[in-house]
Structure 1
Amino acid sequence: MRHPRIFESGELIVGSSFELSPDGAGHVGRVLRMTTGDTLTLFNGKGGQYQATIEQTTKKSVTVQIDEFQDINSESPLKIHLGQAISRGEKMDFTIQKSVELGVTTITPLFSERCGVKLSGERLEKKVQQWQKIVISACEQSGRNFVPQVLAPKQLKDWAAEQTTELKLNLHPRAKYSINTLPEPTNGVRLLIGPEGGLSADEISMTEQFNFEETLLGPRVLRTETAALTAITALQCRFGDLG
């Protein structure tokens, strides 16, 4: 029997019983068809995880008892804030999912000149909610007990201008320095990934004004989703917990 991990946003108390959220109950009861006596892992994004046992299942609800708290931390020592220009369709979903699996701590979707995605108002709010659900699902799958946040989308210039002590990086195929030659970041990394059409010359100049370091991944031009995941992996290998 598979031992699933389920995110529950509320307070979790050892010894207590409660009903899983509709999403959690649907996954446990209808998808996995778990039943009384089966065990699962719960986490609420505040650190650590909880072992629980199913007490009762119905067509619409699942009641569990929390048996034990486990102080497990799978977070990387490297904090990465990903500024990702919004890509079309499933590419953005894929980038968010895999970046969370690789240890990204914060994600800001960005609008840029060549973004190609037009979202605003209620449609944009729903898209952000969808992205946050993808983040949670990636945490459930990868064993992370802290849940990265998808921040409100911003214009690229507004995000680049934010005051921060993070090491600011912008990928560029003609950069002089590679990730292997970067100084060790003391307050995390702010990683900018451009859209499918790349950043414009004006945008590249603008990032230089805000002290972004142009960084080389290799001699080949990568797709936006490939660039993001390659850069995150390289940073985790150099400064984080991938060996």
Structure 2
Amino acid sequence: MSRRFFDPQPFQAGQPIALGTGASQHIGRVLRMAPGDAVTLFNGSGGEWNAVIKAVDKKSVTVTPTVFIDRDRVPPLPVVLGLPLIKGERMDYAIQKATELGVAEIHLLETSRTEVRLKGDRESKKREHWHQVIVSACEQCGLNRPPRLAGIDTLAAFIDQASGLRLVAHPGEAPLGATALRGTERITLLTGPEGGFAPDELDAALTAGFQPFALGERVLRAETAPVALLAALWTLLDQ
């Protein structure tokens, strides 16, 4: 299998095209690939392209797309993840793994117990970094439609706009039953911040129709919960 690269521009069979800075630097400077090497390209609009490197220079890489493959590898249901901000590299981990597990959207949230507060330039730089985490995860795992990364919002706003089957992770609750997802066309999954939800926040989610559930009696870390719960949801869909 050839190396995969994301580049958000249209491709056309047989038409050479210069890749953007990110893909070009990865191919030319990091991997030191050469003309004639095969690559796979995706632009986020669906499907992927087989392509061949035509030229490599100091600033750009030119490729020739050859065959389009209509394959996305997305899960059977769209899942919107409400993910409270987490300190340090653990946020990278949560976003990376949620992407690998096929979420459709990731909404970054502030809660009363969220210790990370981002504003202005710092928020912009972090969002750019997390977008690259998503892109790298897609390149690695085979997804051709990177999940949408929504801006930082309040928990109340996220709860208010939630749709479909609404689930909230909460320690001590029962797991979902095998029939919980039948007839569902969309899932909104809300996981807790470091320190958990404040009582009034959980009450607001429940009042808005969120169904609480957990995986056993253990309290999962903020970066572990979305990964474990997404895996559990896909397992239930297969039953």
TM score, norm. by length of structure 1? 0.94
Cα 1:183–1:29 shift into 2, 3 Å: closer
Distance 2:21 2:52 in 1: 17
Distance 1:5 1:85 in 2: 30
Hey, what does 2:223 align to over in structure 1?
225
Hey, what does 2:150 align to over in structure 1?
151
Gapped regions of structure 1 (runs ≥ 5): none
Query: CA offset at residue 216 of structure 1?
Result: 2.1
Q: Is the 8 A contact 1:179 1:235 kept in 2?
A: no
Cα 1:153–1:142 shift into 2, 3 Å: same
Q: Is 2:5 the partner of 1:6?
A: yes
Hey, what does 2:186 align to over in structure 1?
188
RMSD: 1.5
Distance 2:113 2:5 in 1: 38
Gapped regions of structure 2 (runs ≥ 5): none
- Stretch deviating more after TM superposition (41-50 or 174-183): 174-183
Q: Is the 8 A contact 1:53 1:65 kept in 2?
A: yes
Hey, what does 1:207 align to over in structure 2?
205
Query: CA offset at residue 174 of structure 1?
Result: 2.4
How big is each residue's C-alpha offset from its partner over 1:8-60, in whole Å with a ceiling of 9 and x where there is no partner?
A: 10111111001111110110011111001111000111111101111111122
Hey, what does 1:235 align to over in structure 2?
233
How big is each residue's C-alpha offset from its partner over 1:199-230, in whole Å with a ceiling of 9 and x where there is no partner?
A: 01111111111111011211111101111100
Q: Is 2:70 the partner of 1:71?
A: yes
Distance 1:224 1:38 in 2: 41
- Give the AA of the match of 1:132: H
Query: CA offset at residue 239 of structure 1?
Result: 1.6
Cα 1:95–1:179 shift into 2, 3 Å: farther
- Give the AA of the match of 2:156: K
Hey, what does 2:55 align to over in structure 1?
56
Cα 1:185–1:121 shift into 2, 3 Å: farther
Correspondence list, 1:50-199, <5 A: 50-162=49-161, 164=163, 166-178=164-176, 180=178, 182-184=180-182, 186-199=184-197
Q: Would you identify which runs of 4 or more consecutive aligned residues in structure 1 move more than 6 Å?
A: none
Give the count of matched residue pairs: 239
Q: Is the 8 A contact 2:174 2:216 kept in 1?
A: no
Distance 2:110 2:32 in 1: 42
Cα 1:75–1:183 shift into 2, 3 Å: closer
State the identity %: 38
- Stretch deviating more after TM superposition (173-182 or 105-114): 173-182
Query: CA offset at residue 129 of structure 1?
Result: 1.7
Q: Is the 8 A contact 2:162 2:188 kept in 1?
A: no
